[in-house]
Amino acid sequence: MGYLLPTEYVQYGLTADTTDDWITMASSLMEAYCRRTSLLATQYVERMRFTAGSQTIRLSYLPLVEVAPETTALVGVRVRYGRPRRGETVDPFREQIAWAFSLPGSWSSLDVTTIDVNSATGELTFPENFLGLNYNEVEVTYTAGLVAIPPAVKVACAQIVKNAQAMPSTSVKASRMDTLQMQYFGGSLIDPQVQGLLRPYLAQRIG
């Protein structure tokens, strides 16, 4: 989708005759740069392992979106005691007890209200179980993205369009008609100003 409405083109420095395909192009570049399918609120599922001895993980996408007032952005959380990798065994005795009383590799749902969520950083802190043994793998389903498009994102979108219109011929790096290939200077369209505007929406752990 486009992150700038036709009625906002002039307001953000574009000409009134700007066509929608420019906005679509700019919006797609922004999503690719931020390494996410959309900047708007989207549900994500991430599976990751804990660092040995740690009870915290950090989600890839921000900002977190509360699905209802005074609720967490977490939709569901599953944890398990996967077979420890080399160097991950903290206490072999407790590891053996955990494996004796659980199905190896089986997932268990965790009450999301028991998890401490830092909305500013996307960091989740998990509670210990009765054995004092930390989980070592987690799958988190959560909602993150923009509920409303802020001015900074609209400015970034308009700036990309301006950059592309200012150098329509030089944006093509190379082309081969025989193989229908064309390369663009995509990086030059997302200049330092645009990068700064989009920095809060970059994927934290991907890439």
Per-residue pLDDT of 93-131, as tens digits, reads 555 655 555 555 678 898 998 899 998 899 999 887 655
Residue 172 has pLDDT above 70, yes or no: no
Which residues have a Cβ under 8 Å from the Cβ of 135 and sit 6 or more positions away? 50, 79, 80, 81, 126, 129
**Amino acid letter, residue 102:** S
Q: What is the pLDDT of residue 154?
A: 97
Q: Which of 7, 34, 30 is nearest to 161 (CA)?
A: 30
Q: Tell me: the pLDDT tens digits for 134-165?
A: 678 899 999 999 999 999 999 999 999 999 88
CB of 144 within 8 A of CB of 63? Answer: yes
Phi then psi for residue 47, to 5 deg, are: -120, 130
Interval 19-40 mean pLDDT? 94
User: pLDDT band for position 179 (50/70/90)?
Assistant: very low
The mean pLDDT value for 20-43 works out to 94
Quote the pLDDT of residue 207: 47
